[in-house]
Amino acid sequence: MQADASFEVIKRDHQGVPVVKIVFWGPTLAGKTTALTITKVLKSLEDPENVYKFLKLEDPTGRTLFFDQGIFGIGKTTAGLPILKYHLFTVPGQERHAGQRKVVLRGAHGLIVVVDSEKSRWEENKNSLIEINHLAGDKLASGALPYFIMLNKMDLPIESRISSIEVGKLLSESGTTANLRDAAVRIIEVSCLDARDDLKNLLSKGNRTEIVDNSGKLKKEFRPQSVNRVIKPVESLIREIIIQMMKQQQ
């Protein structure tokens, strides 16, 4: 295996907690910042002690400048520490930010490639795939960088959006098919808009007592399906990364 195609070493913070990095990749306006924000809101409801940091760096028009970042944890050891911390980053999607994207991608353990299902965004999606293939194609091909493809905006009318099947065409047009081998099973169709609305509705419910436990945390069974889909790639990647981490420790 090539040196640059091996799994990133997982570092630990000053308290010895392993820290992993997951990056949302994709063209501008695809919904990366929205997906990260939904993750943050859900985590704040379900597991608030494990929300460490949330930062959005936007220009005055709301476009991401440099990156957005959220730091979260999972579980709690007897010492009161999380068993793992994960940093979620989004890249700035605008074409002129290629340099920043490269920096943000550095050291990633997992990748979520956000594809904008809006038909008119074909070229932007294609360019974004070409770029990630150029930067990380070897790692994606070898499995060293586990990934999911998040096909967003599935709420759009069917005639103005692409389907998962057409993502295959997008992959072959961008020359990424060979590297994104298992892509077909790694596509998750989502609507961040529906997820955001469902979260809002949930929170505006008059009687909150039935949806929260004794400590005021949202019970997992009340997680809306639309939100679950948005969170799924992060949760699945963390599981895959933990397996890699255990292999590194052997």
Contact 121, 114 (CB under 8 A): no
Q: Whose Cβ is closer to ligand GDP: residue 84's or residue 162's?
A: 162
Amino acid identity of residue 173, one-letter, is E
> Cα–Cα distance between 89 and 234 in angstroms, integer?
11
**Residue 23 interface partner, choices ligand GDP, Mg ion, none, CB cut-off 5-8 Å depending on type:** none
Three-state DSSP at 211 gives coil
- In 7-144, at which residue ranges do the beta strands (DSSP E only) sit? 11-12, 18-25, 51-58, 64-74, 84-90, 110-116
With CB cut-offs between 5 and 8 Å by kind, which of ligand GDP, Mg ion, none does residue 233 bind? Answer: none
Please work out the total of residues on this chain that contact Mg ion, with binding judged by CB under 5 A.
3
29 binds, among Mg ion, ligand GDP, none (CB under 5 to 8 A by kind): ligand GDP
Footprint on this chain of ligand GDP (rule: CB under 6 A): 26, 28-34, 64, 90, 93, 152-153, 155-156, 191-193
Of 79, 36, 5, 19, give the one whose Cα is nearest residue 238: 19
Tell the smallest beta-carbon distance from residue 153 to ligand GDP (Å): 4
Residue of the chain from 33, 133, 152, 176 that contacts Mg ion (CB under 5 A):
33
Shortest distance in whole angstroms from residue 80 CB to Mg ion? 33
| Min CB(26)–ligand GDP separation in Å | 6
Nearer to Mg ion, 32 or 229 (CB): 32
Closer Cβ to Mg ion, 33 or 117, answer by number: 33
Q: Is residue 125 a contact residue for Mg ion (CB under 5 A)?
A: no
Residues 37, 50, 64, 133: which binds Mg ion (CB under 5 A)? 64
Residue 47 vs 124, nearer CB to ligand GDP: 124
Q: Which is nearer to ligand GDP, 91 or 136 (CB)?
A: 91
- Residue 19 token pair: 């820290």
Phi/psi region, residue 38 (left: phi>0; alpha: psi -120 to 50; beta: rest), is alpha
Which two three-digit tokens encode residue 221?
Answer: 């069974």
- In angstroms, what is the minimal distance from the CB of 45 to ligand GDP? 20
Q: Write out the two tokens for 146.
A: 């586990």
Please state, as a whole number, how many other Cβ atoms lie within 10 Å of the Cβ of residue 128.
26
Nearest distance in Å: CB 191, ligand GDP = 4
Pairing mode of beta strands 18-25, 11-12: antiparallel
Cα separation, 105 vs 107, whole angstroms: 6
Locate 231 and state its tokens: 């969170």
Nearer to ligand GDP, 153 or 223 (CB): 153
Q: Which is nearer to ligand GDP, 13 or 59 (CB)?
A: 59
Which residue of the chain is nearest Mg ion when measured via CB? Answer: 64
Instruction: Dig out the tokens for 101 from the structure.
Output: 């994207």
Binding site for Mg ion (CB under 5 A): 32-33, 64
